[in-house]
Amino acid sequence: MRLEKCWFCSSTIYPGHGIEFVRNDANIFRFCRSKCHKNFKMKRNPRKVKWTKAYRRLLGKDMTQDSTFEFERKRNRPERYDRNIAENTLKAIKKIDKIRSDRASDHIKNRLKTGKIQRQKEARKQLEQDIHLVKAPLALAQDSSLYLPKIKVNVSQTRTEENQPMEG
């Protein structure tokens, strides 16, 4: 039993799912669900379809090269069973997984960093420039903190009675 990768979207195919297509030139295409299968039949290139891993990796949106990927390598020769190795492997898988996912999220974070910095700069600028819309410059001069003034309400008895029909 093996977990395979979907040819189109690169997600893992668990046993009992998906379709495997063998072409006349003996290439095997595995699909995780009919969405990928139908896209393949429409002859779409996964490298151009935005939601696939192939696209994301090609455009550098996801991490492509990392040493954690080298731990997972398909072997064609069976290895003789060794309990110690097996134990170590099982423990290692979890750790490697964690490291890999950390690195992947860091990659994405770094990619988005410049945008974030940009937006912060813009926000700061806007705050500086347009503060007059919410706090009068005079008030700002008096009280340089950005503590916004609270809104006043004229609460008199007669008024409340009049205003009630409108509220309804």
Nearest to 53 by CA among 5, 111, 121, 112: 5
* Contact between 42 and other proteins per CB under 8 A: no
Separation of alpha carbons 64 and 88, rounded Å: 26
Instruction: Give dist(CA 101, CA 94) in Å, integer.
Output: 11
Among residues 110, 98, 20, 103, the alpha carbon closest in space to that of 65 is found at 103
Q: Is 50 in the site for other proteins (CB under 8 A)?
A: no
User: Of 12 and 34, which CB lies nearer to other proteins in the complex structure?
Assistant: 12
Q: Which is nearer to other proteins, 38 or 124 (CB)?
A: 124
Measured between its terminal Cα atoms, the distance across the chain in Å is 68
83-122: contacts with other proteins (CB under 8 A): 83, 85-86, 88-90, 92-97, 99, 102-103, 106, 113, 117, 120-121
Residue type, 82: D
Q: Which residues bind other proteins (CB under 8 A)?
A: 1-3, 12, 67-68, 71-75, 78-83, 85-86, 88-90, 92-97, 99, 102-103, 106, 113, 117, 120-121, 123-124, 126-127, 130-131, 133-136, 138-140, 143, 145-156, 158-160, 162-163, 166-167
